[in-house]
Amino acid sequence: MRRVNLLPPDDRRWRATVPVTTRTSITGLLLILGALLVMVMIGLYLFYFIRIGNEEEQIAQTDQNVARQQARLEELAPYKDLQARMDAKKPIADGIFRTRFAWDEFLNGLAFVIPEATALDVFTGMATPINITAPSGGGAQVQTLDPPGSITFSGFARRDDRLDNKLNGYRNVADFMLRMNNLRYLANTNLAAAARNDQDFVAPGAVTFEVNAELVTRVGEFGDEIQLTDTGGDSGGDNVDDQAQGEKASRPGVER
């Protein structure tokens, strides 16, 4: 059998000039490039597969957080207008706060001014009703609520054994009235009744008395607004300043 080459003469000459080793190198290079391409594709596939898995996990966590936040919002739904309701009620609360009578401050001051020779049995007091429409005051021009409140003291003044006269005991009552009249919460102190009690075996010769006075309420003396947040130590300093200003404020019916 005879082999017949059907290629054109030009092609036959070109193939004759290309060495066999060159063709083998090109084929190997193509195989290597193909293998590298396959490895790159596999690497990209693994990279994106892992990344997609991470993204799906983050999406699941985000969905869980959103579900928890939605449940929390549903729990807090009844309080969504709490700030608006608080803002609506704050002017009324501020009016009550600045026109209230400071019973705690009054009792603290009363404890320091009662004479040693005088003792109180009972007192009955009624402060001025609050006025939420009263404007805030301050300084010497602080506004005083009108009409003032009232208070009645009942007690006795002991007899001074060093004195032997008819006025013994009554001087202690006068001393009590003078101190009450100078207490900044009181004004126009009056003696309603006074009598010597010689039947008292505990304090023989003591004078029982009843004293009436007006309770003075100054608007904004201890602040005009309720502090809804913790002010720390600043609030104490403000009260001290307000008290110092209250000491300088004049009261009706009382001469300084």
Beta strands in the chain (DSSP E): 118-126, 149-157, 186-197, 206-215
Residue 167 has pLDDT above 80, yes or no: no
Tokens 């009598």 found at: 195
| Closest to 127 measured CA to CA, from 216, 218, 8 | 216
- Measured CA to CA, the distance from residue 65 to residue 4 in angstroms comes to 80
In whole numbers, what is the pLDDT of the chain averaged over residues?
76
Q: What is the mean pLDDT of residues 188-213?
A: 78
| Closest to 158 measured CA to CA, from 197, 190, 189 | 197
Q: Which CATH superfamily is domain 101-222+237-248 in?
A: Ribosomal protein S6/Translation elongation factor EF1B (3.30.70.60)
What tens digit of pLDDT does each residue of 138-166 get?
A: 554 567 888 888 999 998 888 766 655 55
The amino acid occupying position 139 is G
Residue 249's pLDDT band, with cuts at 50, 70 and 90, is: very low
Q: Look at residue 41 in the predicted model and tell me its pLDDT.
A: 92
pTM of the model: 0.53
Q: Look at residue 251 in the predicted model and tell me its pLDDT.
A: 36
What tens digit of pLDDT does each residue of 29-73 get?
A: 888 888 899 999 999 999 999 999 899 999 999 999 999 999 998
Q: What is the mean pLDDT of residues 86-102?
A: 83
Q: Look at residue 64 in the predicted model and tell me its pLDDT.
A: 92
Residue 242's pLDDT band, with cuts at 50, 70 and 90, is: very low
Q: Look at residue 77 in the predicted model and tell me its pLDDT.
A: 84
- Measured CA to CA, the distance from residue 85 to residue 21 in angstroms comes to 93
Is the distance from CB of 187 to CB of 196 less than 8 angstroms? no
Residue 185 has pLDDT above 70, yes or no: yes
Is the distance from CB of 223 to CB of 156 less than 8 angstroms? no
198 token code pair: 């010689």
Residue 120 to residues 124, 152, 158, 167, 212, Cα–Cα distance (Å): 11, 11, 11, 20, 13
- Measured CA to CA, the distance from residue 199 to residue 209 in angstroms comes to 15
Q: Look at residue 245 in the predicted model and tell me its pLDDT.
A: 41
Q: Look at residue 165 in the predicted model and tell me its pLDDT.
A: 55
Q: Look at residue 114 in the predicted model and tell me its pLDDT.
A: 87
Residue 78: asked if its preceding bond is cis (omega within 30°), the reply is no
Q: Indicate the domain borders of the chain.
A: 9-80, 101-222+237-248
| Closest to 94 measured CA to CA, from 230, 224, 221, 227 | 224
Three-class secondary structure assignment of 186-234: EEEEEEEEEEEECCCCCCCCEEEEEEEEEECCECCCCCCCCCCCCCCCH
Residue 15 has pLDDT above 60, yes or no: no
Look at 228 and 65; give whichever has higher pLDDT: 65
